[in-house]
């Protein structure tokens, strides 16, 4: 159990009874921060302003312009202020106080006049080591000029963090461009990694930079038939190196993912238990809802019965939404009544047309347009049948003229059939010449029910009228 104590009078930390350096001590040492040349009164004013801003923010008063701006940057995120902690960097134990800390972010409020990116980067990354798992780092910079800015801070690799420890122990000062300076030394090509749950520290990027530089020398123009053996050897070496890295990556991936796979399985079991309990409750809820719907449907059916509608059943107009809790029974009764009145009005329209079959069709569909179309169809069929019957009666009423038995070859087949049915008359030189009937042909399209079409065909056959189906 770590026992961290802070002495406000001396602004020092002790861990388990041992005094340890502060974050600011380490940062000032490796950056060579020297404020001895700054006049004391200037330092005092700057310190007083910084203290006022920090007290305004830590008390959550946010009365100062700087505090109000910081509050706008925090938004709705839950932050804790002035949080103390300790960590170990290499073999150096240190402690510090973080200005603002959330579940995913570390912010530090700065009120100085000039930006100091190196100082801020080292300080925020040392805080990050004290409070791991927070990869968002930022400085909320509130200079006296009023030009406030949120400055994102880069997270440093483990390798770079250890350089800070080495510089502190050796008394070395890091250059101002240290966070972004190139690393000229050749890295180890043995892929190493430190695995923690949710964190992976590796030198893969250093290896990548070295490999890119080395592979730039492998060009196609460097090889030909004269050194094909060397080309094959280089190719084999490159493939072997790639396989070595990928095999190590797969090994690390399995190790890295195992805790998460176990975690995933556990969460799956948790969700299954929750869903099981939810399903039991859902069964009860649905049972109650179905019973409520059944009771409501019974009340609506009773209301329908009270309306005494003899024209159609309730099923013809039933709407499932009527059973919703948000639908009031009185509104449904109003809708039922309106539907009955509409059906009665539609039947009055059909009465004027005078087609009983159309009214029957309407009561089966409750669709006035469909019923009107049915009435038109019935009327058209009736007129066609009447016309056909009239034509038949006219033919039967007109006298028939006998025709000779022999039929000239020039007479069409329909005429031949008609001629064959006439009484035979002996043809002699003394016989009176009989005029042959005029044969007419007319194309017609008839429409009616199946029974009507069959009856029309039978009638034409009985009267020796030749016809064909189109």
Q: Could you tell me the pLDDT band of residue 19, with boundaries at 50, 70 and 90?
A: very high
The CA-atom distances, in angstroms, between 417 and each of 289, 395, 420 are 77, 17, 5
Using CA atoms, how far apart are residues 379 and 386, in angstroms rounded to an integer? 11
The domain ranges of the chain are 4-181, 309-398, 401-421+438-470
* pLDDT band (50, 70, 90) for residue 435: low
Whole-angstrom CA distances from 431 to 87, 425, 434 are 141, 9, 9
Any idea of the CA torsion for 7, 12, 14, 19, to the nearest 10 degrees?
Answer: -140
| Per-residue pLDDT, 29 | 92
- Please give the average per-residue pLDDT across 90-103, as a whole number: 92
Span 438-465, average pLDDT = 84
Which of 83, 59, 85 lies closest to 71, judged by CA?
59
Helices (H), 59-96: 65-74
In order of 324, 327, 330, the CA distances from 300 in angstroms are: 12, 12, 9
Q: 153 near 81, Cβ under 8 Å?
A: no
* 405 in Cβ contact with 416 (< 8 Å): no
* The two structure tokens encoding residue 180: 């972004």
Q: How distant, in Å, are the alpha carbons of 4, 5, 98, 439 from that of 85?
A: 8, 10, 8, 118
Q: Tokens 């099923």 identify what position?
A: 315
pLDDT number for residue 407: 43
What are the tens digits of pLDDT across the range 145-171?
Answer: 888 999 999 999 998 999 999 999 988
Distance linking the first and last C-alpha atoms of the chain: 103
Q: CA–CA separation, 88 vs 158, rounded Å?
A: 12
Q: Which of 125, 122, 84, 86 is nearest to 106 (CA)?
A: 125
Task: State pLDDT tens for residues 168-194.
Answer: 998 889 888 887 765 555 556 666 666
Q: CB 109: neighbour CB atoms within 10 A? A: 21
- 185, with CB counted inside 10 A (0-12, 13-18, 19+), is exposed
334-359: per-residue pLDDT in tens? 999 999 998 988 888 888 877 778 87
Average pLDDT of the residues of the chain: 83
282-308 pLDDT per residue, tens: 988 899 989 999 998 999 999 999 998
What count of other Cβ atoms lies within 10 Å of the Cβ of residue 34?
A: 8
Let me know if 361 is exposed, middle or buried by CB neighbors in 10 A (0-12, 13-18, 19+): buried
Bridge partners of 105, per DSSP, are 136
> The whole model's pTM is what?
0.41
The class that CATH gives domain 4-181 is alpha beta
* Per-residue pLDDT at 94: 94
Q: Which two tokens stand for residue 261?
A: 């796979």
Amino acid 183: pLDDT? 53
328-343 b/e (C-beta count within 10 Å ≥ 16 → b) = eeeebbeebeebbeeb
Does residue 203 have a pLDDT over 50?
yes
> Contact at 8 Å (CB) between 191 and 202?
yes
Cα separation, 173 vs 165, in Å, equals 11
Quote the CA–CA distance of 148 and 70 in Å, as a whole number. Answer: 9
pLDDT value at position 192?
61
Q: CB of 135 within 8 A of CB of 104?
A: yes
């Amino acid at each position: 159990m770590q026992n961290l104590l802070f002495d406000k009078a001396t602004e020092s930390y002790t861990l388990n009874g041992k005094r340890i350096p502060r974050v600011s001590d380490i940062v000032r040492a490796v950056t060579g921060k020297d404020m001895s040349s700054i006049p004391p009164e200037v330092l005092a004013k700057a310190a007083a302003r910084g203290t006022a801003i920090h007290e305004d923010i830590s008390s959550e008063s946010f009365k100062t312009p700087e505090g109000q701006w910081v509050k706008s940057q925090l938004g709705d995120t839950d932050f804790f202020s002035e949080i103390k902690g300790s960590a170990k960097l290499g073999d150096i134990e240190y402690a510090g106080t973080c200005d603002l800390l959330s579940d995913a972010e570390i912010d530090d409020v700065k009120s100085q006049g000039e930006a100091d990116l190196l100082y801020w980067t080292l300080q925020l990354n040392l805080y990050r080591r004290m409070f791991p798992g927070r990869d968002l780092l930022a400085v909320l910079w509130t200079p006296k000029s009023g030009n406030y800015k949120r400055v994102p801070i880069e997270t440093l690799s483990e390798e770079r963090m250890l350089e800070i420890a080495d510089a502190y122990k050796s008394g070395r000062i890091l250059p101002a461009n240290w966070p972004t300076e190139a690393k000229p030394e050749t890295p180890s090509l043995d892929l190493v990694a430190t695995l923690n749950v949710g964190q992976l520290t590796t030198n893969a990027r250093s290896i990548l930079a070295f490999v890119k530089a080395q592979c730039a020398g492998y060009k196609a123009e460097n090889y030909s038939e004269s050194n094909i053996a060397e080309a094959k050897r280089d190719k084999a070496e490159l493939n072997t190196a790639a396989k070595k890295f990928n095999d190590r990556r797969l090994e690390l991936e399995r190790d890295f993912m195992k805790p998460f796979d176990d975690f995933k399985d556990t969460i799956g079991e948790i969700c299954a238990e929750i869903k099981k309990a939810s399903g039991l409750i859902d069964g009860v809820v649905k049972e109650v809802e179905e019973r409520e719907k059944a009771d409501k449907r019974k009340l609506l059916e009773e209301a329908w019965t009270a309306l005494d509608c003899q024209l159609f059943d309730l099923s013809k107009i039933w709407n499932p939404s009527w059973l919703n809790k948000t639908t009031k029974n009185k509104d449904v009764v109003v809708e039922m009544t309106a539907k009955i009145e509409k059906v009665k009005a539609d039947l009055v329209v059909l009465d004027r047309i005078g087609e009983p079959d159309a009214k029957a069709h309407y009561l089966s569909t409750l669709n006035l347009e469909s019923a009107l179309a049915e009435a038109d169809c019935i009327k058209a069929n009736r007129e066609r049948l009447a016309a056909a019957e009239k034509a038949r009666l006219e033919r039967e009423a007109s006298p028939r003229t006998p025709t000779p038995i022999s039929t000239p070859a020039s007479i069409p087949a329909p005429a031949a059939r008609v001629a064959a049915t006439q009484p035979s008359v002996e043809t002699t030189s003394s016989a009176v010449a009989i005029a042959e009937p005029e044969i007419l042909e007319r194309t017609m399209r008839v429409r009616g029910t199946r029974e009507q079409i069959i009856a029309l065909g039978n009638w034409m056959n009985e009267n020796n009228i030749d016809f064909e189906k189109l």
